[in-house]
Chain A
């Protein structure tokens, strides 16, 4: 069965510092990876997915199949980036089922 691991429950950085939220997965096939974000008092929403290869709000994530990782990065953190971030995986032929990690709370301090 597939699994997503986010090793950090909380990540605290200063404004302007680089951010890296870690995500590792276990799955023998070719998964589709996503990052979802939940801002305070808002619903869970898609931030980005690896097949799009795009940068959203300055965030990027590269799928590394060798290391089975999909870390989320941003070169300069902003206060509005403070939120809960979830890494999720969808498997080929698995319908639209998402398997989520436990999430990392990002806190950007001034």
Chain B
């Protein structure tokens, strides 16, 4: 069984640029959730994708967008980067969309620094 992987591990961008982060879900999982974890904070839900469609969104502006592909891997895109976007971005996969009781398995994260 392959775990959740994320790429890249680290990234440095400048303000105003755009970034794409990638996530491969665990084998057998069809749901991917993205979280932002600022320094000293807990992870904060950005959005979730289930079977290639957005299935819930947190309190993030539209410049945060995503995609899920037929193989259930996912991308998180952030446009017009701001300094406050500097954080660890976590991807978590699970099976079943909104089904209660489904455990989310987290990837190692991508650390983004915006200068």
| Interface, chain A (partner B; CB < 8 A) | 4, 6, 32, 43-46, 49, 51, 86, 88, 90, 92-103
Residues of B within 8 A of A102 (CB): 40-42
**B42→A46 contact, CB < 8 A:** no
**B100→A44 contact, CB < 8 A:** no
Q: Interface residues of B toward A: which range? A: 20 to 34
B56 in contact (CB, < 8 A): yes
Apart from A46-B104, A95-B98, what 6 extra A-B contacts exist at CB < 8 Å? A45-B105, A96-B48, A96-B99, A97-B45, A98-B43, A98-B104
Residues of B within 8 A of A32 (CB): 100-101
Bound CA span A103–B38, Å:
12
Chain B min CB distance to A3 (Å): 11
- Of residues 50 through 89 on chain B, the ones whose CB sits less than 8 Å from some CB of chain A are 50, 55-56, 58
Contact A44/B40 with A32-B100, A95-B55 known, Cβ cut-off 8 Å:
no
